[in-house]
Amino acid sequence: MAVVRQSGAGTRRVFLLGLTSGGVYFAGTLYWLVETMTTFGGMAMALAAFAAALLVAYLSLFPAAFAVILARVHRRIGPRAILLAPALWVTSELGRQYLWDGFPWALLGYSQVTILPIVQLASILGVYGLSALLALTSTAAAFLVVDRTRMRWVVAAGTAAGVAGTVLWGTARLRDSSLLTKGEPVRVAVVQGNILQQDKWNPAMADAITERYIGMTRQAMAQGATFILWPESSTPFYFEQDIVRGGAIRRLAQEGKATLLIGSDQIEPVAKSVAVNSKEKLYNAAFLVKPDGSVGAVYRKMHLVPFGEYVPLQRLLFFVGPIVEFPPFTPGTEPTLLPVGVHQASTAVCYEVIYPDLIRRFVRDGSELLTTITNDAWYGRSSAAYQHWDQASMRAVEEGRYLARAANTGVSGFVDPYGRVIERTALFVPAMPIRDIRFIRERTAYSRIGDLVAWVSLALTAAALLASRPRSPIH
């Protein structure tokens, strides 16, 4: 019994240490949630802080689980259990993507997005591969301290060789940059209208907002842009419902013989055959307007923002409701591609660009150009807008595609298939970057194998848990 109590106390301590570490990390990363909920959601400071704390506490459970599992395996096999830490850590990040509603924000691997020789590894193993590499370097350093055998030097040397090999290979890939000459060029413009959040749905501002976007689009057309992106929810009206303003956008496409990608909400009416108490469905959508003025495709956002577009566990978290401006959105179900001439593009709306499996699905289905449209006005001048930009940039490297990003208040711009920033705007200024980029059909290794490193990590974690089960006493 004494041993059981000691083991239980040790597990609780490990859990609390992991929870505390996670709390520090996520509170420091997601501090902007409080400002978002108070400034734009109209919540009282105390309620906003409580709601943010709940999310931080939930996310902190994953580092806590990592710590508990590692400690359990350590008790079973000793110091060498630490060599499983990279797999356990990646498994915890995979859990953040798939469990509950999923929130894979600020994974460890994203820290390397500006370290171009290192980030090239994402073209093979994705962001989870980068997380594994970083966890491995920390593991090797820790193993030097806790192990007393010759194996610690083998691990250290192997890790150093792996990092050096990654840098050398990444540098060579950057030097080659063969994707920059592949495919067909297209002149793309991203329109950053810089409409403040409090003005977006003000009826008195509807005409002025529409005129701003139309005027900037005409300027882009005059500079030769043939594919022009407006941000998420850029129209202060329902594109399909407003015949006058929607018609003006259609005529604009015809006038400039250009393809327009318009962020606008969509209402799906309830069929007469459906029960009278059924409600219309509201989608956060992107409309592809072809050069002849017709709608070529409609993409409906598939990954909705918790507490922004719907409230998970709404009966329990009823007090968070005010942050959602409209009735809750309905998630889309199809990764619809966008026809741009004879080519196919794709778009991710807002934060769903942080789901690597979704973007890979677009490319697997034939997307030759990645786009993402967003309204980051919610983040104010916090670091969230830059975090969002960096995570979107990772998708360009993973898939070997150019990325065009249109954000209402910034950051907007372009990233090449190797993660180089071609152009990036400042926050809260009107801007209209225009660049010649390319449709690319070549596939990266990552686009073919996906998050294999993450699933292998999950399998190793499961095996470690099975191997560390307490043995039944033999009678």
**Which residues are part of the catalytic machinery?**
232, 301, 350
Nearest CA-CA partner of 306 in 79, 103, 48: 103
Handedness of CA 461, 463, 468, 469 (dihedral sign): positive
Rounded to whole angstroms, how far apart are CA atoms 441 and 443? 6
Partners of residue 281 on adjacent β-strands: 268
Longest dimension (CA), the chain: 87
> Rounded to 5 degrees, what are φ and ψ at 54?
-60, -45
Q: Are 357 and 443 within 8 A, CB to CB?
A: no
**What is the token pair recorded at 215?**
């005027």
DSSP 225-246: -SEEE--TT-SSS-TTT-HHHH
Cα separation, 270 vs 287, whole angstroms: 21
Instruction: Please tell me the distance from the alpha carbon of residue 281 to that of residue 432, in angstroms, as a whole number.
Output: 33
Contact yes or no for 456/133 (Cβ under 8 A): no
Report how far residue 445's alpha carbon sits from residue 439's, in angstroms, rounded to the nearest whole number: 18
DSSP state of 61: H
Is the separation of the CB atoms in 399 and 358 below 8 Å? no
Give CA–CA dist 347/299, Å, rounded.
Answer: 8
Cα angle value 128/129/132 (rounded, 5°) = 90
433: left (phi over 0), alpha (psi -120 to 50) or beta: beta
CB neighbourhood size of 97 (10 A): 18
Q: Which of 327, 371, 330 is nearest to 350 (CA)?
A: 371
Q: How far apart are CA 24 and CA 403, in angstroms?
A: 32
Please say whether the beta carbons of 384 and 37 come within 8 A.
no
Amino acid 277 reads: N
Can you state the percent helix, strand and coil of the chain, rounding each to 5? Answer: 55, 15, 30
H/E segment holding residue 435 = strand 434-439
**Cβ partners under 8 Å of residue 273, min gap 6:** none
Peptide bond into 411 cis (omega under 30): yes
